[in-house]
Amino acid sequence: VITGTPGVGKSTLARLLAEELGAELVDLGELVEREGLHEGEDPETGSLLVDLDVLSKRVLELISSRPGGLLVVEGHYAHEVVPREAVLLVFVVRRDPRELKGILERRGYSGRKLYENLQAEILDVCLTEAVRRYGEELIYEVDATGRDAGDVASEMISALGSRSGGRVGVVDWLGLLEEEGSLSEFFSEL
């Protein structure tokens, strides 16, 4: 499972990982769009409103249809739809909010949609939700800031090889931005 705030690099890393492992790649965002597993768009942000129950059932079908097979399931709600029993490791990909801001802006995010995502990254939302669901022992948090995707993917492969979960708390964006005096810039926008 690969989760994390939009724009941190999940899809890029998932492709590399699936290729290296010979695993099937499941891009949840793409699956939701292709199979219409949503209830339309949020009128304020334009993001698709995903029905997590429906998506969970669909993911379970995909897992069950490949007994013994290896899947890489990625998306920012991946940690909400993959059952614990099916999980080898849950990667929570992190990126410095200052770098993430540029990536999301280049992608056309602005206003509420931009700042909600940056705030979610600063406040460890995906990490907290993933730990709550799976427990720390299945979590491998990885900081992709300023790193080559191939390098991050290699780290993930070796973590899988040794099943080394329990890696939580590797970044502190809140402390970093506070120290720099830029925290309020990320929270004044809403």
Ligand X SMILES: Nc1ncnc2c1ncn2[C@@H]1O[C@H](COP(=O)(O)OP(=O)(O)OP(=O)(O)O)[C@@H](O)[C@H]1O
In single-letter form, the type of residue at position 14 comes to A
Beta-ladder partners of 92:
3, 141
Q: How far is the CB of 11 from Mg ion (least distance, A)?
A: 3
Say how many residues make up the chain.
190
Q: How far out from the chain centre does Cα 17 lie?
A: 14
25 binds, among ligand X, Mg ion, none (CB under 5 to 8 A by kind): none
133 binds, options Mg ion, ligand X, none, Cβ within 5 to 8 A by partner type: none
What is the Cα–Cα distance from 130 to 18, expressed in whole angstroms? 21
Q: State the Cα torsion 36-94-90-30 to the nearest 10°.
A: 20
Site string for ligand X, 32-71 (x = CB under 6 A): ----------------------------------------
Segment holding 32, helix H or strand E: helix 28-35
Q: What, of Mg ion, ligand X, none, does residue 6 touch, CB below 5 to 8 Å by kind?
A: ligand X
Stretch that binds ligand X, among 35-43, 122-130, 145-153, 178-186 (CB under 6 A): 145-153
CB 4 within 8 A of CB 31: no
In the bound state with ligand X, the residue whose beta carbon lies nearer, of 87 and 117, is 117
CB 117 within 8 A of CB 173: no
The Cα 104–Cα 98 span in angstroms is 10
User: What CA–CA distance (Å, rounded) separates 24 from 67?
Assistant: 12
For residue 139, the one-letter residue type is I
Using rule CB under 5 A, residue 12 touches Mg ion: no
Stretch of 44-52, 84-92, 144-152, 175-183 lying at the interface with ligand X (CB under 6 A): 144-152
Stretch that binds ligand X, among 3-11, 35-43, 51-59, 77-85 (CB under 6 A): 3-11
Q: In angstroms, give the least distance from the CB of 184 to Mg ion.
A: 29
Q: Which of 38, 98, 147, 167 binds ligand X (CB under 6 A)?
A: 147
Q: Among 9, 11, 77, 133, which residue sits at the site for Mg ion (rule: CB under 5 A)?
A: 11
By the criterion CB under 5 A, which residues form the site for Mg ion? 11
By the criterion CB under 6 A, which residues form the site for ligand X? 4, 6-12, 29, 76, 103, 144, 147-149, 152
